[in-house]
Amino acid sequence: MAEVRLEGIVKEYGAVRVIHGVDLLIEDGEFCVFVGPSGCGKSTLLRMIAGLEPISGGNLLIGGERVNDQRASERGLAMVFQTYALYPHMTVRQNLAFGLENIRTPKPEIESRVAEAARMLKLEPYLDRRPKALSGGQRQRVAIGRAVVREPRVFLFDEPLSNLDAELRVTMRGEIAALHRRIGNTMIYVTHDQVEAMTMADKIVVLRDGRIEQVGAPIDLYNRPENRFVAGFIGSPQMNFLPCEVVRAGADGAELRDAAGQTYHAAVDGSGLNPGDAVELGIRPEHIEAVASGGHPVQVENVEQLGGESYLYCRTPQGVALTVHMPGQTRLSRDQTAELAFRPEVTHLFRQSDGVAMPRLVLGEAV
């Protein structure tokens, strides 16, 4: 049992509070990803769980036991660092064995565990090399191997892929996900890359300024962002936001109008809204369709054709930038006028005052 429970976790540096009472339960065997922009406190939170940063307030329980006052070396966790942090003066074999030597594991067992980890991570040919003689991907695997050999209760990953090139990143993403399926330990993974979060996580924790914005399964975060921040953070390219004014709102939907007089319909529960309220209509680039007529007119400012998919960068008469992601190729080109259709069932609606999302009535994404 290695569930990780955070109860009102607070971090203060002097008078500055950087983590504001985080409550979170990460269940045994779960792959949990902390995601957020830089400086949101996700790495600090991870280091607090690891025991590398003292906890200023609240309780941290691992496997039901309060570990606030335990040292990093006593918590039985393993961590993979962004910089890999391989010991440069030791060979790969010594790097892998170091943790086991520290807990006085018998020699034969160290050897067998190192051999197993090396086999699993395809590191066998490099065991007697120094980290300096390895490529980025190999170093990354050694760093993971160093965590694996110790059979820790919880794995912690601190932006482990950010130093790799794009292609390796995709490969390693797959390897870490496969590792999790194979050994089934609890894993906590910090990243600022929402693609990593979406592809690997069982549960995503979106953080901003030391507070949890939303916790949930990746697809739930995509479909039901609770606020404008999460909506903007999850999904790539970013969701489009159109500032509007409420014309009519009720439990069955909302009618909106923007400054240029265009009207929109959103399939959300708008019970809390009153006519005249300032809101933002959210629509993802992949949910906008170009239509021949009857849509909202926009000016096309740039077109990116990737062959299999296309991106349009447009501007509404009101002056708001809109990104459109469409499958296949397009005939539209720069400086043309296009008409775009927003289906009400794929739109989101956020109150401008506090960014809170109105509950969606239907999920238009699933086919």
Partner 1 sequence: MAMAQAQGRSTFGWLVGRRGRNGFDLTDWFAYGFLGLGVFLMLGPVIWLLLSSFKTEAALQEFPPTLMPMATQTVMVEGFDVPLPLFRITEGEHEGRVLAQIRRVGLNAQMVDPADPETRITVNIAHREPVRVVAVATENYTTVFTRFNFLLYFWNSTFITVVATILTVLFNSMAAFALAKYDFRGRTSVFILIIATLMIPPTITLVPMFLVVSQMGLVNSHWGVIWPAIATPTGVFLLRQYMLTIPDDLLDAARMDHASEWRVYWKIVLPLSAPALAVLTIFSVMWRWNEFLWPLIVLNRSEVFTLQLALNSFQGELQTAWSNLLAMTVLTLLPITIVFAFLQRYITQGIAQSGVK
Binding region for partner 1 (CB under 8 A):
47, 50-52, 71-74, 77-79, 81-83, 85-89, 98-99, 102-103, 146, 150
Give the Cα separation of 54 and 57 in Å (integer). 9
- Sheet-wide strand order for 77-80: 77-80, 154-158, 186-191, 31-35, 203-208, 211-216
Tell me the residue ranges of DSSP E strands in 142-295: 154-158, 186-191, 203-208, 211-216, 240-250, 253-257, 263-266, 278-283, 288-291
Q: Which two tokens stand for residue 211?
A: 């507070």
Q: Which two tokens stand for residue 364?
A: 């238009």
Of the pair 123, 149, the CB lying nearest partner 1 is at 149
170, burial (CB in 10 Å: exposed 0-12, middle 13-18, buried 19+): middle
Of the pair 89, 119, the CB lying nearest partner 1 is at 89
Of the pair 57, 76, the CB lying nearest partner 1 is at 76
CB of residue 62 vs partner 1: minimum separation in angstroms?
A: 14
CB of residue 102 vs partner 1: minimum separation in angstroms?
A: 4
Of the pair 103, 367, the CB lying nearest partner 1 is at 103
Do the Cβ atoms of 73 and 52 come closer than 8 Å? no
CB of residue 55 vs partner 1: minimum separation in angstroms?
A: 16
Do the Cβ atoms of 271 and 259 come closer than 8 Å? no
CB of residue 125 vs partner 1: minimum separation in angstroms?
A: 23
CB of residue 116 vs partner 1: minimum separation in angstroms?
A: 18
Of the pair 77, 254, the CB lying nearest partner 1 is at 77
